[in-house]
Amino acid sequence: MSIHGKAKRITTQVLQEMKNSGEKIAMLTAYDYSMARIVDGAGVDIILVGDSASNVMAGHETTLPITLDHMIYHAQGVVRAAKKALVVVDLPFGTYQGNSKEALHSSIRIMKESGAHAVKLEGGAEVRESIERILTAGIPVMGHLGLTPQSIYKFGTYTVRAKEEVEAEALKKDAAMLEEIGCFSLVLEKVPAGLAAEVSGAIGIPTVGIGAGGGCDGQVLVLHDMLGITQDFSPRFLRRYLDMSEQMNVAISQYVADVRSRDFPSEKEQY
Ligand code: KIV
């Protein structure tokens, strides 16, 4: 039986065993109870309550506006649903950068108020102190390198990161540092597949890629993108498993027609 199959609950130790034995890790986002129940039931290892909720759930252009209270609200529903998956929650923009005490306070709020199992934050050397302080409280931390959407106004675009030697070298150094200080895993977003494979081979902790190729130890996608609920986002790395937006449109249009034609409710659908 696979390591995932044997585990009652996915822990950071189980993820490490998966990396050690070459079993790939499947991670997806979820932001609410109903979706998280389906995701968990389908056998996903890690559910990420991503700050992509800012785009997907609230309709913002970037991840910057979402607050810690919003993230905790989303995480609470996901934690109630997740019977097996490890639940990781993004620290939102402005709650951990440049102030390690605030980073610890934000992480403790997430763990205490939502019951999640770990936090994730973006960046390397510049957030080292924050990560170290969070780890002192026994809170598992997942790193995030490459395209880090909270820095979109610094990058100016969502294109592939670390194509040039200097940025690639800095990323490799950051990945090694994140492992050394005690992160249990890290996300590699939108970096060349060769670089992601090199980093995944060089460090001992599991890497989870998004637009970073098959050499990572696991993969993550935004649930609403892979189900085809979001429509106007089609990067090359995205595989759509459903056209849910179209399927929902058909179902809802039929409901509207049935109400208007008095077909719904029928005699059997009333008391
Ligand atoms: O917020 C998010 O959904 C993420 C993933 C893209 C990794 O950080």
> What is the per-residue pLDDT across 23-35, written as a single tens digit (0 to 9) for each?
999 999 999 999 9
Q: Do residues 158 and 230 both lie within one domain? A: yes
pLDDT (0 to 100) of residue 246 = 97
Q: Do residues 105 and 167 both lie within one domain? A: yes
Please give the average per-residue pLDDT across 3-26, as a whole number: 97
Pocket test for ligand 1, best of 49, 207, 222, 229 (most atoms within 8 A of CB): 222
Check which CATH number belongs to the domain holding 121 and give it: 3.20.20.60
> What is the per-residue pLDDT across 167-191, written as a single tens digit (0 to 9) for each?
999 999 999 999 999 999 999 999 9
Q: Do residues 265 and 203 both lie within one domain? A: no
Q: Do residues 248 and 119 both lie within one domain? A: no
Average per-residue pLDDT for the chain: 98
Span from the CA of 220 to the centroid of ligand 1 (angstroms): 8
Q: Do residues 202 and 257 both lie within one domain? A: no
Q: Do residues 172 and 257 both lie within one domain? A: no
Q: Compute the distance between CA of residue 46 and CA of residue 10 in angstroms, rounded to an integer.
A: 8
Q: Do residues 174 and 192 both lie within one domain? A: yes
pTM: 0.97
Domain containing 260 equals: 243-271
Q: Compute the distance between CA of residue 92 and CA of residue 139 in angstroms, rounded to an integer.
A: 16
* Domains in the chain, number: 2
Closest CA to 87 of 100, 78, 74, 99: 78
Q: Which ligand 1 atom sits closest to the C-alpha of 51? A: 1
Catalytic residue among 189, 198, 246, 267: 189
pLDDT (0 to 100) of residue 204 = 98
Q: Do residues 193 and 172 both lie within one domain? A: yes
> What is the per-residue pLDDT across 137-168, written as a single tens digit (0 to 9) for each?
999 999 999 999 999 999 999 999 999 999 99
Please give the average per-residue pLDDT across 257-269, as a whole number: 98
Span from the CA of 50 to the centroid of ligand 1 (angstroms): 5
> What is the per-residue pLDDT across 211-230, written as a single tens digit (0 to 9) for each?
999 999 999 999 999 999 99
Q: Do residues 196 and 247 both lie within one domain? A: no
Q: Do residues 110 and 41 both lie within one domain? A: yes
pLDDT (0 to 100) of residue 232 = 85
pLDDT (0 to 100) of residue 231 = 87
